[in-house]
Structure 1
Amino acid sequence: MTPPTVPNLLPAIAAKTVCTQGYRFFVDEQERRLPSVTSILNATKPIEARKALARWRSRLGTEEATRVATTASRRGTLTHHQIKTYLLGQEKTCPDAAQPYWKSLRPVLQDLDDVRLVENFVFHYDLGYAGRVDCLASYQGQSCLCDWKTADRPKGSLERLYDAPIQLAAYCGAVNHCYGDHGIQVQSALLVVALPDTEAEVFWLDADMMKQYWRQWHDRLQQFYSD
């Protein structure tokens, strides 16, 4: 598959990851440390979501639940790395474990152009959080923030992706905060779920939807800092 044109990348923000007391923080070159979006969402997860996760672990058993989670994390990491090398115009043989998901994603990736960010750190210093975005590009001619997921079976709806849309809204806010001086004001997002042996699910989040999820993110952020 032919990679997109050589990306016109925005300047990357150098940062490192630090984990302490169960939270992940990103630290920039000035040693400013901010909690990750994922850690904030985990810390403010609604009680019903926590109960559902506990029921799942109980149903599978601790050992099997850990195995499933580890396998999912590994395939996600491998798939993300394959996407990254492709978007940056590099050639790399896809690992066997990621091959079904890579095949699922390829039609979506072929509709991307004007790639500006690929797995970059972003910070929102005013609101106090940070994250690492998968991709900022244009999809079918519309500028958007992209997020890649892998799953064993279709999700069917955004609701079954739980906090993923809120996570994307948080990332959009941080991207606009970091790169506003470069003319970046992204308002839409693309959430793609790669599936084995079938085409990926594609969820488009328009500006109105993103505003809704941004309000939810703002509430979770306030809860995190007030607890």
Structure 2
Amino acid sequence: MPANIQLLPSYRAKTMRENGKQYYVDAQGDRFPSVTTILNATKPQAAREALFNWRQRVGTEEANSITTNASRRGTSIHKHIQRYLLGEDAVCTETILPYWDSIEPVLQDIDEVKLVEGYVFHNNLRYAGRVDCVASYQGIPCICDWKTADKPKKSLERLYDAPLQLAAYCGAANQCYQEHGIKINHALLVVAIPELPAEIFWFQPEDIINYWQQWQERVTAFWKYR
């Protein structure tokens, strides 16, 4: 477990769904669309067609089963990582053990944990999200995101909108916790893969700036067509 845990104050939020979209409601009652809602609503046509073609190829029932199982698996591994990062004892279930074995060595390089599964809001751009982790990786403060997969991604293209999601979280965390001296311009995305070392994608400040510009365009498009 991390040697240094210095948690920031956490923001409270309620989750609500409306017309298939997810929103976070803050303590003042203000409603913000989630990062994933904005990304899904503004997904490029090529990405929509690729998803449609995949569902057609494997069949609706199989596609729903794959999606559901992946979601449950992701939730379980996130909960286990959360307990680990907070120094809590937890028993790893047999279902997620292969993914835990893959990602655990990377977690040994995580220190100075400041936020785990925490809500962040960006009041200017009007969006919110739930961040997996704000901590330091090999001594560098960053946003951390944990994912699972059955085979390696191998390229940034296979991460789809995940880099934009990380940039969005960076922007929201920086605004939320500005008074605490938080200024994050790096991000870490780790993909846990059974029987293989986890894939590590590390984003430098110039990467975050690039994805942040793309993210702002997606936010603008989201509000434009509402």
Gaps of 5+ in 2: none
| Contact 1:123–1:129 (CA under 8 A) maintained in structure 2 | yes
Q: From 69, 72, 80, give the equivalent of 2:70.
A: 72
2:17 aligned partner, one-letter code = C
Number of the residue aligned with 1:94: 92
CA shift for structure 1 position 6:
4.9
1:56 aligned partner, one-letter code = W
CA shift for structure 1 position 102:
0.7
| Contact 1:6–1:89 (CA under 8 A) maintained in structure 2 | no
Gaps of 5+ in 1: none
- Distance of 1:130 and 1:44 partners within structure 2: 16
Number of the residue aligned with 1:154: 152
* Identical amino acids, percent of aligned pairs: 57
Number of the residue aligned with 2:80: 82
TM-score by length of 2: 0.99
TM-score by length of 1: 0.98
Q: From 164, 177, 184, give the equivalent of 2:175.
A: 177
Q: Post-superposition, which runs of at least 4 consecutive aligned residues in structure 1 deviate over 6 A?
A: none
- Distance of 2:95 and 2:44 partners within structure 1: 33
Number of the residue aligned with 1:212: 210
> Mapping of 1:42-191 within 5 angstroms?
42-191=40-189
1:177 aligned partner, one-letter code = Q
SS at match of 1:7: coil
Deviations 1:40-92 (A, max 9, x none): 00000000000000000000000000000001001000000000000000001
CA RMSD of aligned residues (A): 0.6
Number of the residue aligned with 1:32: 30
SS at match of 1:85: helix
Number of the residue aligned with 1:23: 21
